[in-house]
Amino acid sequence: MLSEAVVVDGLTVAYERIVALEDVSFKVFRGSITAVVGPNGSGKSSLFKALVGQVKPRRGVIKILGLDVSDARGKIAYVPQREEVYWDYPLTVWDVVAMGRIRNVGYLRSVKKNDEKVLAALEKTGLKELMHRKISELSGGQQQRAFIARAIAQEAEIYLLDEPLTGIDAESEDRLFDILSEMRRIGKTVIMTTHDLSSTFEFFDNILLLRNRVIAFGSPEKVLTAENLASAYGSERVAMHLTDVGRVAGWR
């Protein structure tokens, strides 16, 4: 039986007078991969922050694996958008990834140097050789991978990745998609935002197209129509371009 990983019903998020999300409803099932797409300022990051309890909804209900947000924290791994991370930590790559284990073992100091989950996450993301380097001294793409490795080490059920493709090279992108496929295979749920409509869409089970409200939600074929894209991006030209991308990728 399909079970619900995330259920959002009538969600409204506002920062004083700016309404980031209005009356947003959707649900995703366990073991699915969902892309959240929409123009800058369409509320994608605000949605993730609401799902992890970093912003309090003005209205609406969120259930994570049937739990309230405050009871579900250990089940969600969240990799924020790059610009929102303070990178200048005096921490090594290993430390950052080991932070994913704190919930299981108590303190960073009590994570063993040979902790298998940490080492496996470093291996998966191709960071094993860099594990003793300071996080602040890595390239942008490597830093991004370290945060993804931390999410993997956390062994959450649900992964929220905010623009994980931004600023990473083609090889890292391939590697990320391999990791995501593996996650889906073992029944994890992934929700990620992206501005890259070209290479990735065949990969997703669902697309949530946002412009502060839900423009469309469902399979890529259903969501990525010229009308929907024009409503989301507010420009026929952008929509035409994106639909062309869809045609090249073979959706229509």
Residues that bind Mg ion (CB under 5 A): 44-45, 81
Helices (H), the chain: 44-51, 93-98, 102-105, 116-124, 140-153, 170-185, 220-223, 226-233, 236-248
56 binds ligand ATP (CB under 6 A): no
In the range 72-101, which residues lie near ligand ATP by CB under 6 A? 81
Count of residues engaged in binding ligand ATP, rule: CB under 6 A: 12
**Could you tell me the smallest distance in angstroms from the CB atom of residue 135 to ligand ATP?**
22
- Residue whose entry in the numeric block shows the structure tokens 């991370």: 85
Contact 149, 176 (CB under 8 A): no
Q: How many helices (H) and strands (E) does the chain have?
A: 9, 9
**Could you tell me the smallest distance in angstroms from the CB atom of residue 190 to ligand ATP?**
17
34 binds ligand ATP (CB under 6 A): no
> Taking the CA of residue 121 as centre, how many other CA atoms within 13 Å lie in the half-sphere pointing to its CB?
27
70 binds ligand ATP (CB under 6 A): no
Cα 137 from Cα 134, distance rounded (Å): 5
Q: Which stretch binds ligand ATP (CB under 6 A): 42-50, 151-159, 221-229, 236-244?
A: 42-50
Q: Which stretch binds ligand ATP (CB under 6 A): 22-30, 39-47, 183-191, 216-224?
A: 39-47
Choose which of 8, 11, 20, 99 interacts with ligand ATP (CB under 6 A).
Answer: 20
Torsion of CA 139, 140, 143, 144, to 10 degrees: -150
Residues that bind ligand ATP (CB under 6 A): 15, 18, 20, 38, 40-46, 81
